[in-house]
Amino acid sequence: MFDSIFWGAVQGLTEFLPISSSGHLVIIPALLGREGPDLGTTAMLHLGTLAAVLVYYRSDVARMARFDRVGRRMITIIVIGTIPAVVFGLLFESTLDQLTERPKLVAGMLILTGLIMLATILLRPGTKTTEQLSPTDAGVIGLAQSFALIPGISRSGMTISTGLARGMERVEAARFAFLLGIPAIAGAGLLSIAKAVSEGADITSATIIGMVVASIVGYWAISFLIGILGKVGLAPFGIYCVIAGILGVIVL
């Protein structure tokens, strides 16, 4: 049960804080000399983080569910932004799976994530909101999200950074990044569930507890990130990723 709670906390923190959940789920087991979460646990952790973002942005989700004019437009730009990741994932699925076995490379990608976030310091503050995004904006941010399929590249770090580069206000960049992440997180969860079922993995009470922990920690992580972004931007997370990546390259 402790393992499920531990991995739930790791998943909840790293899925939404721009420090790469995939990177940490590779690097932490390598540092500890142990296996990461099993398939059943992984599937439930994704469901937990999905619940967190759906609850946090429940008003936006409800707006899209009502399918009014604004809701339809939000759905449209989310669909446009999701397409690059789907294409990238289908084309390079086997290669991406192999990268999880190379922790030193993953640590290097974490350094790259940090440098990209630190570069946002040079950007002028924008004012664009999610509702003002063009299809081109959504496509460019979606392309950035597709690169986060590489372990060690933070999905939220890439999408928020690209949103800022497209002239978005900081909190709005995070808002769109997390709304765009809903299909990605749901897709990852469904794939994990399919693999778990095909390999006969069990869903136990411990894995359910891990899901609840991931949901609670994930909700807190979103709130924390929104608060930090409004004050200082992505720089603290960029510094963390660079330091963690360098240590990973040295130690692993």
- List, for residues 26-67, the tens digit of each pLDDT value: 888 888 887 778 777 888 898 999 999 999 999 999 999 999
pTM over 0.85: yes
Structural domain containing residue 18: 2-251
> Is residue 195 within 8 Å of residue 173, measured between CB atoms?
no
| Per-residue pLDDT reduced to its tens digit, 217-252 | 999 999 999 999 989 999 999 999 999 999 999 988
CA distance 201 to 54: 26
Report the number of distinct structural domains present in the chain: 1
**Any residues with CB less than 8 A from the CB of 170 and at least 6 apart, and which?**
125, 160, 164, 229, 230, 233
180-212 pLDDT per residue, tens: 999 989 988 887 777 777 777 667 777 889 999
Task: Show the CA angle centred on residue 223, arms to residues 42 and 187, nearest 5°.
Answer: 30
Q: How far apart are CA 53 and CA 76, in angstroms?
A: 19
Residue 246 phi/psi, 5-degree rounding, is -60, -45
Q: What pLDDT shows up at residue 39?
A: 74
